[in-house]
Amino acid sequence: MTPAGLYPPIEPFDTGTLQVDDIHTLYWERCGNPDGIPVVFLHGGPGAGISPTSRRFFDPARYHIVLLDQRGAGQSTPLGECRNNTTDLLIDDIEQLRMQFGISQWLVFGGSWGSTLSLAYAQAHPDRCLGLVLRGIWLGTREEIDWWLYGIRNFFPREWQAFADQVPPEERNDLLAAYQRQLHSPDALVMRSAARAWSRYEGSCLQLRPEPATADAFSQDAMAIAVGRLEAHYFSHEAFLSPGQLLANMHRIAHLPGFIVHGRYDVICPVRYAHDLADQWPGVTLEVVADAGHTSMEPGIAEALVRATDRFARLRHFR
């Protein structure tokens, strides 16, 4: 169910693709006001892709909204492709789009994995950023990866058991390695089964009040293949970041305005990491939503994100 508080549905005024190498072609779209404040929307996952709802966190009269499906996700091709898929390459893709559209600076908006990529992008190109609006902070550390693989069972034991049951008992001491083998199996049935189990586990744990429809959506092949393969790929490489990289480099963007929205009961990305980030960011606004989990579709989180983009537009004196 789409929450209230978002802006009304809109359609893109421009769509297209960008071939970034011999393997990957990215889908992108632009919405809103081409003379407005530029903003780039970075989706989660990795692999979750954008949706029509992704456009609705921004006032279309005040924002020039650029959205893209990252490598291997959504309408980008090939789906679920892990080759030539790293954080640094995604940062390069974002820069290619910015230059293609003649944008000198933009607001960076990202949730979950999108918050990770937003921070990494901004720290690599601080002069290209107007500010950041982030949701569901994930810093890409080994501690957070281990929590996702094993810690969530403390809150969702049945869902975790279904996730673990995909793997033979003797391999469950290293679920990530076992899943990686299955997700890259030459047997398409094995690969798809593993992808559905991985993605359904995540979809089952996203919300404060779990909804079966969310888990079902994450179990559909297109979503499951992209989320399962790409999340396991990025987990295996610790998001292609050095230990502690994002917090260590906060001095590069600490001068930028920032807004963080995080659910108090976010089990996917525990709220302590949002506080860790805020502690390194003077002047950031951190809003912890008292009755929410992880997903941006929970009412309190959606409303807080819209408040953040509206507030940023006011800061830019764009009325």
Instruction: Give me the pLDDT at residue 196, please.
Output: 96
Are 131 and 154 in a shared domain? no
Assigned token pair, 103: 């944008």
Are 184 and 198 in a shared domain? yes
Q: Which residues of 82-98 are buried (b: 16+ CB within 10 A; e: fewer)?
A: beebbbeebbebbebbb
Instruction: Give me the pLDDT at residue 299, please.
Output: 86
Are 49 and 152 in a shared domain? no
Are 92 and 217 in a shared domain? no
Active site residue 233: no
In angstroms, the CA 147 to CA 9 distance is 36
Last residue of a domain, one of 219, 239, 259: 239
What global pTM score does this model have? 0.96
Instruction: Give me the pLDDT at residue 213, please.
Output: 86
Are 152 and 175 in a shared domain? yes
Are 86 and 147 in a shared domain? no
Long-range CB pairs of 72-75 (<8 Å, 24+ gap) are: 72/24, 72/46, 72/47, 72/226, 72/229, 72/230, 73/43, 73/45, 73/46, 73/47, 73/48, 73/49, 73/226, 73/230, 74/27, 74/43, 74/48, 74/49, 74/50, 74/226, 75/27, 75/49
Range of the domain at 46: 14-141+240-315
**Residue 171 domain flag:** yes
Instruction: Give me the pLDDT at residue 319, please.
Output: 56
Are 123 and 162 in a shared domain? no
Are 132 and 255 in a shared domain? yes
Residues of the chain whose pLDDT is less than 70?
Answer: 1-4, 318-319
Are 159 and 259 in a shared domain? no
**Residue 150 domain flag:** yes
**Residue 169 domain flag:** yes
**Residue 74 domain flag:** yes
Last residue of a domain, one of 239, 255, 270: 239
**Residue 53 domain flag:** yes
pLDDT digits (tens, 9 = 90+) for 227-277: 999 999 999 999 999 999 999 999 999 999 999 999 999 999 999 999 999
Active site residue 266: yes
130's CB contacts (< 8 A; 6+ apart) are 37, 38, 105, 106, 107, 256, 257, 312, 316
Number of domains in the chain: 2
Of residues 54, 112, 115, 204, which has the active-site annotation?
A: 112
Last residue of a domain, one of 211, 239, 267: 239
**Residue 8 domain flag:** no
Are 133 and 269 in a shared domain? yes
Are 203 and 275 in a shared domain? no
**Residue 175 domain flag:** yes
In angstroms, the CA 153 to CA 168 distance is 18
Are 117 and 148 in a shared domain? no
pLDDT digits (tens, 9 = 90+) for 183-198: 999 999 999 999 999 9
**Residue 295 domain flag:** yes
Active site residue 21: no
Of residues 43, 69, 266, 296, which has the active-site annotation?
A: 266
